[in-house]
Structure 1
């Protein structure tokens, strides 16, 4: 009986923890669901953890078992847990990549007609942003701002047609247009968007073509040589402090079963340098190889899309100078593997095996 009273006494003191101690606890809840559950404990904890002070949220691996399912699975590397959420808006829609927590979705079975539905879907809040582009075969979000519902001018979408005409759709607020515009047709695929510019891998002259979206001006940045891909980068995207990164991927030839170790895969990371050249013979812009990314963590999807986060946001839980990547399983084309590459020691390892074929990294856009 005494022990029982002591237990009740201890448990009753949890709501009375001082606010500074509660803050130390919830600031380390990098799994979105853990933070939400923390706030649901009691009114005092809810008040102690305001939404505007939410901790940094580590990406989930989002999966779906079938195209016709409205149930999405979210695996957390932080907690090791898999959560299941119901998103009816995702049912019968194909996913074409993600940006800022929004999935680009396309209604399956619409035969790419004018009645087809293209939307940006936030699977956490179920908010949708309809996009006015129809008749295209493939879509990819190059850039989505933190709140595309309120700020349409922060959305850039790549798309192409059955006859391989390529376009980029964006919200145009120049010259009092204030509406959606199409820029195209391009003869090569737009790979990335950064600060008003589109980036294309140009196979003809082994360079990256940089295209100013509003002015149409072009620049060329020669590619570093890569034995495996030779003419292009594996991925392009924005790094820390607005820097623009190009990532090359290399493989050592080996039997399929050895691929499971991922030890035969490695990456090289380059940063676009646009400073004025030191001499007339020096190219500008050019790519500079990085030997150390310091605080940066890169997340790469199988479709070569990706994003970066600072490891310092997660206070030692995850290491910087590393790349988390998704790749196809070598013996099962319905599954994928999650790998980790550490740039410092040039090593890759399997983190998680056997995720669904539609698996993708996604950062919660909830708060």
Structure 2
């Protein structure tokens, strides 16, 4: 009988295996096997095919405990991130979360590596700021960073667009009727804003540079929601997915 010492597997092989793990929870388990496996797979190298969702998004993390729902597996993982202390974080993500503490500069946080990236300030006061495109772990200067928010005084919905190294945001006003999608989901993808209205199943597609409606889609598969829900729109391998999170008694029941 041959007993295999898994800790002796070549690092090159372990690295290849780690890059095939689509679920961030599998990646965390992989790195927890032993020190050899941990050293072969850096958190900065992992790029999940589906983003993980921050379950308590938009809150103030006094104890820096983040609850993640990876790959919509109906499981919640709690990780302690000391870098997130007193941050107000938001958004599903492939890697970076958006930090929008009131009165402080906007920034990005990688909860696994602790890396933070400062972003330019917004000239106007924007509330309910939310990230629309999922920022991967290899953030480059040419990558667009897109947020969605509401001007506090004029109640105008806006897109904010910037790149690393820019001194300011490009702010694009959106049509006023977009406020009807408050219970739906939003996503930026290839120059367009997708806004889905949960109650009617209608998705409006806007040109991200002009804010004009390009076309409208209707969802033919209407679901009967018997509990509280939260909706997300995500991209995976070039396809757009609309994800419904069912919540009962403040617990995630299903995706």
The structure number with the bigger radius of gyration is 1
SS of aligned partner of 2:136? coil
Are 1:160 and 2:115 matched, yes or no?
no
- Residue 181 of structure 1 corresponds to 170
Deviates more, 1:133-142 or 1:66-75: 66-75
Taking structure 1 as the reference length, the TM-score comes to 0.48
SS of aligned partner of 1:305? strand
Are 1:305 and 2:232 matched, yes or no?
yes
What is the aligned counterpart of 1:138 among 111, 118, 128? 128
What is the aligned counterpart of 1:122 among 110, 117, 120? 110
CA contact (8 A) 2:206 2:212 kept: yes
SS of aligned partner of 1:251? coil
Following superposition, the deviation at residue 155 of structure 1 comes to 0.6
Give the strand-richer structure, 1 or 2: 1
Counterparts of 1:68 and 1:55, CA distance in 2: 28
SS of aligned partner of 1:41? helix
Following superposition, the deviation at residue 23 of structure 1 comes to 7.7
SS of aligned partner of 2:126? coil
SS of aligned partner of 2:152? coil
Decide whether aligned partners of structure 1 residues 172 and 61 sit closer, same or farther in structure 2, where only a CA change above 3 A counts.
closer
Cα RMSD (Å): 4.7
Taking structure 2 as the reference length, the TM-score comes to 0.65
Q: Which has the higher contact order (CA 8 A, sep 6+)?
A: 1
CA contact (8 A) 2:90 2:97 kept: yes
- Residue 328 of structure 1 corresponds to 247
Following superposition, the deviation at residue 34 of structure 1 comes to 2.4
- Residue 224 of structure 2 corresponds to 251
Counterparts of 2:171 and 2:190, CA distance in 1: 18
Following superposition, the deviation at residue 124 of structure 1 comes to 1.4
SS of aligned partner of 1:32? helix
Deviations 1:37-59 (A, max 9, x none): 357237xx956x79898685665
- Residue 198 of structure 1 corresponds to 193
CA contact (8 A) 2:50 2:94 kept: no
Size of the alignment, in residue pairs? 235
CA contact (8 A) 2:127 2:149 kept: yes
Counterparts of 1:67 and 1:144, CA distance in 2: 21
